[in-house]
């Protein structure tokens, strides 16, 4: 899929080296096509890495996508330059001037804090409220998924006895769903979190459908019945080395951390990990864009009062 980005976005060079079709604004203007408008609310501290990871996966279908990177105005980022944020991101208040085919709300390293104590919580709630009427399908990732379930359904997260960390096997909880079309019977999902959401609470919410669960019996993937909200508890977007970086970061800080499950060959942390989830990740994002965004969004829904009519 041609991804429309600013010509000097650092992720562009990385993606082009991987033969992913990235289109600059100038070239996109010459094509008579309505691209899918996707907003990425990037809450991860390593913003440039997350940009590259998500754009890589969004670039795997023949659709054209117009990306808006969104930053929180009530939070000071310390792992990325202010110049990068000013150059490539729009402030969250600017999204309210637009409607989007899709939105991605990423994870964030704040899961051990109560939601209300996160400094941008009120700002994020406003975005989630806006998405209900102005975004056709929203994909919530990891902490973002927990935040979405809490804000929209009142489902609270709970602490785990120890960090759930590694490449966890998953299987379908339903016979079929377009979001998992083409998936193997068992599929791996990178997971890195200290908290969980009780399965019974999700089952009790009649508007939610559980789509997949992991080997620990936890819900990995769920959605609203109208397909407008997708909750992914894992990190399919992670690169091969991401969990390794997290592991060694904690080791070097003398924090309690176990070797990630099913990650280093033979649990030998001196050996390079193998990526076993790449094809699942590409398939998941392609399915979301195709079946939940592109196939369902009216061509002219920005102009025809689609959301205003409550359809």
Positions marked active-site: 142, 235, 237
Cα-based distances in Å from 216 to 78, 95, 168:
34, 38, 8
Q: Are strands 157-172 and 186-197 parallel, antiparallel or unpaired?
A: antiparallel
Paired tokens of 235 = 């990190």
Q: Where are the beta strands (DSSP E) in the chain?
A: 3-5, 22-24, 36-41, 65-71, 89-91, 100-105, 135-141, 157-172, 186-197, 208-214, 219-224, 229-232
Paired tokens of 178 = 């377009």
Task: Spell out the residues 6+ positions from residue 225 whose beta carbon is closer than 8 angstroms to its own.
Answer: 207, 208, 209
Q: Are 211 and 221 in contact (CB under 8 A)?
A: yes
CA pair distance 188, 185, nearest whole angstrom = 10
* Torsional class of 266: left (φ above 0), alpha (ψ -120 to 50), beta (otherwise): left
Nearest 5°: CA angle at 286, between 282 and 287? 115
Paired tokens of 126 = 């406003």
């Amino acid at each position: 899929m041609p991804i429309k980005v600013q010509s000097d976005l650092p992720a562009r060079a990385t993606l082009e080296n991987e033969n992913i079709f990235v289109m600059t604004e100038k070239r996109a203007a010459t094509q008579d096509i309505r691209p899918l408008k996707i907003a990425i609310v990037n809450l991860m501290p390593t913003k440039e890495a997350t940009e590259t990871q998500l754009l890589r996966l969004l670039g795997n279908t023949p659709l054209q996508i117009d990306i808006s990177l969104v930053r929180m105005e009530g939070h000071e980022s310390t792992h990325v330059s202010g110049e990068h944020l000013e150059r490539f991101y729009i402030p969250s208040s600017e999204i309210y001037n637009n409607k989007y085919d899709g939105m991605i709300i990423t994870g964030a390293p704040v899961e051990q804090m109560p939601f209300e104590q996160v400094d941008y919580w009120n700002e994020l709630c406003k975005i989630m409220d806006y998405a209900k009427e102005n975004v056709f399908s929203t994909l919530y990732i990891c902490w973002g998924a927990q935040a979405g379930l809490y804000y929209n359904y009142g489902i609270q997260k709970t602490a785990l006895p120890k960090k759930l960390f590694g490449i966890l096997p998953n299987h379908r909880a339903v016979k079929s769903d377009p979001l998992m079309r083409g998936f193997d019977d068992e599929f791996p999902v990178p997971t890195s979190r200290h908290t969980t959401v009780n399965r019974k609470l999700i089952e009790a919410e009649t508007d939610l459908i559980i789509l997949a669960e992991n080997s620990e019996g936890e819900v990995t993937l769920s959605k609203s019945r109208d397909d407008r909200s997708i909750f992914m508890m894992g990190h399919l977007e992670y690169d091969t080395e991401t969990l390794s970086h997290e592991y060694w970061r904690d080791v070097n800080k003398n924090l309690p951390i176990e070797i990630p499950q099913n990650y280093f060959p033979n649990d030998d942390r001196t050996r390079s990990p193998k990526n076993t989830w790449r094809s699942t990740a590409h398939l998941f994002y392609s399915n979301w864009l195709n079946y939940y965004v592109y196939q369902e969004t009216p061509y002219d829904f920005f102009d025809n009062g689609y959301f205003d009519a409550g359809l």
